[in-house]
Amino acid sequence: MGSVTVYGPPISTAVSRVLACLLEKDVDFKLVNVDMAKGQHKSPDYLKLQPFGQVPAFQDEHATLFESRAICRYICDKYADRGNKNLLGRNGAGPAERAQVEQWLEAESQSFNPPSSALVFQLAFAPRMGLPQDPAAVELNQAKLAKVLDVYERRLGESRFLARDEFSLADLAHLPNAHYICSAGKDDMFASRKNVARWWEEISTRLSWKKVVDMYSAPPA
């Protein structure tokens, strides 16, 4: 243990997805900042870790990896016996239970992420970067996200969490984008849907996620 390194700024949604997973799994890690304003993510050394020039990158003694959701799966598989043991379904429960998590993790990736990432950029990052907000993009993506949340509302009426009656990687993967959207004054998208509101309250108050949010304002040295 102790040899896990994550590269990237914790305010990045993809970086914080990995941090939330490591905290759930009780895996110690070192966070190495990548100063994207200075273009460090496009430097030759960094491109050896992450060929697309994106964050995060991840290293332990056995693997150098990119793509937040692939890294999260690896953390769950590699550290199967540490921390939260059921993030990909219960150990030994078999492929069908893992697949329930995988399908909702893919729903996050394919259906929730595109409009929510666009909203995060418009509502949270564009203002920080001094860029003008595009009201048409906000409206379009808010409408797309609303349709996804309508499906979630029905699903969460029959299941406590998205994949199962237990918190999983599928729920965890939503935390970063949803956090920024709620913090930027669009929390009504979640609060106005009864089951989504209950789910969001439950997942966003987990100790692991609170620690990540603390790192947004006070990243470790």
CB of 90 vs a copy of itself, minimal distance in Å: 14
Q: What is the dihedral angle through the alpha carbons of 70, 24, 200, 56, rounded to the nearest 10 degrees?
A: -40
Residue 60: CB minimum distance to a copy of itself, A: 9
C-beta of 102 vs 171, nearer to a copy of itself: 102
Q: Coil, strand or helix: which one is 59?
A: strand
Pairing of strands 5-7, 57-59: antiparallel
Q: How far is the CB of 201 from a copy of itself (least distance, A)?
A: 22
Closer residue to a copy of itself (CB): 138 or 149 = 149
Closest C-alpha among 178, 186, 184 to residue 204: 178
The strand pair at 64-66 and 57-59 is best described as antiparallel
The crossing angle, in degrees rounded to 10, of helices 194-204 and 135-155 is 90
Nearest to a copy of itself of 83, 114 (CB atom): 114
CB 219 → a copy of itself: shortest distance, Å?
A: 24
**Between 59 and 204, CB nearer to a copy of itself:** 59
Cβ closer to a copy of itself: 47 or 127? 47
H or E element in which residue 58 lies: strand 57-59
CB 132 to a copy of itself: min, Å: 20
Peptide bond into 176 cis (omega under 30): no
Chain positions contacting a copy of itself, by CB under 8 A: 51-52, 62-63, 65-67, 69-71, 73-74, 77-78, 94-96, 98-100, 102-103, 105-107, 109-111, 114, 148, 151, 154-155
